[in-house]
Structure 1
Amino acid sequence: MKLWPFVRRGLISAARVVLIGVLSVPVHIVLIILTVLSFVFTVLGVGLVLAPLVQLLVRRYADLRRWMAREWGGVDIPRPYRPPPAGAWIGSPRRWLWLVRDPATWRDLLWLLGGAPIGFASGLATLVMFVYGALGVLLIPVVDNLASGGDSGYGVTWPLNPVSYLTVPFQGALVVAAVLYGAPWLLWGIAKYDHSLLGPTSSAVLAQRVDRLTETRTQVVDAQAAELRRIERDLHDGAQARIVALGMSLGMAEDLVVRDPAAAQQLIAEAREASGMALAELRQLVRGIHPPVLAERGLTGGLSALALTLPLPVAVEGELPGRPAAPVESALYFAVAEALANVVKHSGATEAWLSLSYLGGAIYCTVGDDGVGGAAPRTGSGLAGVERRLAAFDGALRVDSPPGGPTVLTMELPCVLSSPKTTPSSATG
């Protein structure tokens, strides 16, 4: 472990813990008092206006702490609040009732009550230990010459003997090292406490997942209907038209085979060419529905074949211990295809990589590139389509794409794999 990154991370984390401690006592106490008073004054009518305004402040501060938990502690905390009723303006009884009936309102209050002592104790302990250790390292040998006697506070008396000149700074260095090592973990612990009360409950998470799945299922049904219309249009305008023309050419050749064999032969040649083009269009159409390479070589083989078609090098690694269901396999294949298409079109990358793994009942597929970064699943973008495709199977897409790159997309798709022994053989068909 390099020393400076360890020291830098520890110092930054310790400063953040102290900052949380400084905020915890005054901000929490003020918000607790305002919350209690706003609901008490409801009997006077003032609370109908005051309570929503106070809760707006509480939720803004809670959002700040959610941001701190995500950016400083690596813990993501979704907002659990119910949407306000339509037309319920601040000061109306409906707005007040919505606020009171939302469990997140009372969980925020409980978080404020517990967060004040937790944040204060964490910040104070971090500050005291760091100052205590730093004094031992830096100041004791200096002030020894000025001291005439008494206890140093480190278990030694003045003046220090030669051995103490080594042991006291070493003891202080151990305390500072303990603070630098423990501060990131303490920051993570505070974030986990915030997550326990500022995040949605298990029932709320389940309700959100149901709503999300309902929405994505509707989107998938609409997309499938549009896809069926596209297939019908492609069949009607493409392969079907060529087959009809093929039948007409063969009928004309049949009439000419005795009277004009040369013309009949030319019509037969044109019919053979038209049949080849119709077959190619049908193959292309089938490939867009379910790529044959998936049935023949599985997901890893299919993605490897896909990578070979791109104009930049793509390293593919990883293997699955079995086969997912065909719809899941197809969805992930096309999601990766869309992601790689975005790499080619927008990233300016010189190389890309793709990894595949199965862990905890889900497939994880990572697509990365060394491009310019700045990718985001905006509405109408290719990544938004990838997100919708995965969401239809309760999957998720995480995007890490800072300006300047690199871009890393992580696709998670829950599924059950079949045994490799039961997968179709590539030699069949």
Structure 2
Amino acid sequence: MTTNTHSGGDFRTRAREVVLAAVRGLVLAVVTLPISALCFTLTLVSVALIPIGVGVFTTPWILGGVRNVADTRRRLAAEWCGVQIPSAYRPAPEGANQWTRTYALLRDPAVWRDLRWLQVDMTAGYVTALLPAVLLLYPLEGFVVAAGLWRPLSEFGGYWYGFVHVTDQGSALGAGALAAALLLLAPLAPRLLTAHFKLTRAVLGANQAELAERVKVLTETRRDAVDTSAAELRRIERDLHDGAQARLVAMGMDLGTIEMLMDKDPAKAKQLIGQARQASVEALGELRDLVRGIHPPVLAERGLGDAVRALALRLPVSTEVEVEMPARADAPVESAAYFAVSEALTNAVKHSGADRIWVDVHHAEDMLRITVTDNGKGGAVVGAGSGLSGVERRLGTFDGVLAVSSPAGGPTMVTMEIPCVLS
């Protein structure tokens, strides 16, 4: 009894896997074919329009959509069949003008691999996705024909089921027998669906050279993060030594002098007490500034949105802040984003000559996107020695990117993106 129950459970499990594979394959075939065809067609049209300038604006947007389609297929491959498909897209270019961004995307091998995959997905990919459904649904069609559907069809010269020409009940039973034989192949449906995703991986997956390049980029960003952290620790040590520590030492000396003068010269002792009190106030202020530079209390207590608003309130330039974040990101991501925004705002105030600044912070599709825009004179670049190069290194630690659009005469737009999920 136990053996029969166990066998029945295995049969139900296998039957469920077959049906699930058939349904998933049918969805892939029916839904993704028009999507792949649309993406491929739009890409061809957009690239063709680049010489006249229109494609420069549409191509990055369309290629972003193609990447989303490819990433969705990667996710389905992993979730449905356990097939991991690696990706190795190059980071967005430092300069954010449309020509640079477009040509950088077109030079990315991963983009061309996506386009080749769209062609395969419309042909061989469509067939391999549809086969699991065919193995299950076509036998059912044969059973329906054998059960009596052949009668109305016989009025139109019969019906071909596979290689069986159904014209009467005898040939209908032959179609039923063929359907039963084909049904024995239905357990292959999950394997065929896996074969579809393996075909996808063969075309869409990154090769070893591209993965090695990606690892190299991540290694460099991690090394920059370590160097930045070491420099930050040295700065904190220097600020403590030259600032609060020096004032505290002076306070100690003043208190010793006050102790000696308390009986001999009370007036002088009173004066020194006032100086010591002022030194303590200044030391406390320096310590607060130092702590704020390490991790602002408002950031820890109220999150990135309110911390950026607090930054804006301290600026001498009119600044508008718009925040759309339904929840909070991880503390390291918030800290990186906060200091990146702080540096971008500082650059705008010091160098742009702007009288208005706009900050937009929002989260969508597992990506934190921040833009800092000013109406200044423009000309901002990401280069050695600039504050923006430090921002780029900080974001790179989290696989984030920085893009700057700053034509002569302005406006300047600094865009930052960090992959993250909200808590």
TM-score normalised by the chain length of structure 1:
0.52
1:77 aligns with 2:82: no
**Is residue 331 of structure 1 aligned with residue 336 of structure 2?**
yes
Q: Of residues 362, 370, 385 in structure 1, which corresponds to 2:390?
A: 385
Corresponding residue for residue 299 of structure 2: 294
1:402 CA displacement: 2.9
Distance in 2, Cα, partners of 1:14 & 1:221: 42
In structure 2, runs of 5+ residues without a counterpart are: 1-41, 53-97, 120-200
Q: Which residue of structure 2 aligns with residue 237 of structure 1?
A: 242
Task: Give the whole-Å Cα distance in 2 for the aligned partners of 1:260 and 1:72.
Answer: 74
| Counterpart check, 1:319 vs 2:319 | no
AA at the equivalent of 1:415: C
Correspondence for 1:268: 273
Specify the alignment match of 2:152 in structure 1: none
Distance 1:14 1:384, change over 3 A: closer
Counterpart CA distance in 1 for 2:109 and 2:51 is 25
CA distance 1:347–1:269, shift in 2 (3 Å): closer
Could you tell me how far apart the structure 2 residues matched to 1:289 and 1:251 are?
33
The residue correspondences of 1:395-414 to structure 2 (distance < 5 A) are: 395-414=400-419
Q: Report the AA paired with residue 243 of structure 2.
A: G
**Does residue 1:342 correspond to 2:347, yes or no?**
yes
Q: Deviations over 1:92-145 (max 9, x none)?
A: xxxxxxxxxxxx9xx9xx98xx9xxxxxxxxxxxxxxxxxxxxxxxxxxxxxxx
Q: Which runs of 5+ in 1 are unaligned?
A: 1-9, 21-68, 82-103, 115-195, 419-429
How far does residue 347 in structure 1 lie from its aligned partner after superposition?
Answer: 2.2
State the aligned residue count. 250
Q: Could you tell me how far apart the structure 2 residues matched to 1:75 and 1:371 are?
A: 27
Shift of 1:271: 1.3
CA distance, structure 2, for counterparts of residue 72 and residue 415 of structure 1: 23
Alignment of 1:18-417 (within 5 A): 76-80=105-109, 201=206, 203-417=208-422
| 1:234-267 Cα deviation digits (max 9, x unpaired) | 2122211211121121122122222322222222
Distance in 1 between residues matched to 2:262 and 2:49, nearest whole Å: 93
Q: Who is 1:161 aligned against?
A: none
1:60-98 CA distance string (max 9 Å, x none): xxxxxxxxx9679788134559xxxxxxxxxxxxxxxxx
Report the 3-state secondary structure (helix = DSSP H, G, I; strand = E; otherwise coil) of the residue aligned with 1:76: helix
User: Which amino acid is the alignment partner of residue 307 of structure 2?
Assistant: G
SS of alignment partner, residue 212 of structure 1: helix
Alpha carbons of structure 1 residues 225 and 256: separation in structure 2 relative to 1, 3 Å:
same
For residue 246 of structure 1, what is the amino acid of its counterpart? Answer: M
Change (3 A) 1:15 1:314: closer
Q: Secondary structure at the match of 1:416?
A: coil
The TM-score normalised by the length of structure 2 is 0.52
Equivalent in the alignment of 1:141:
none
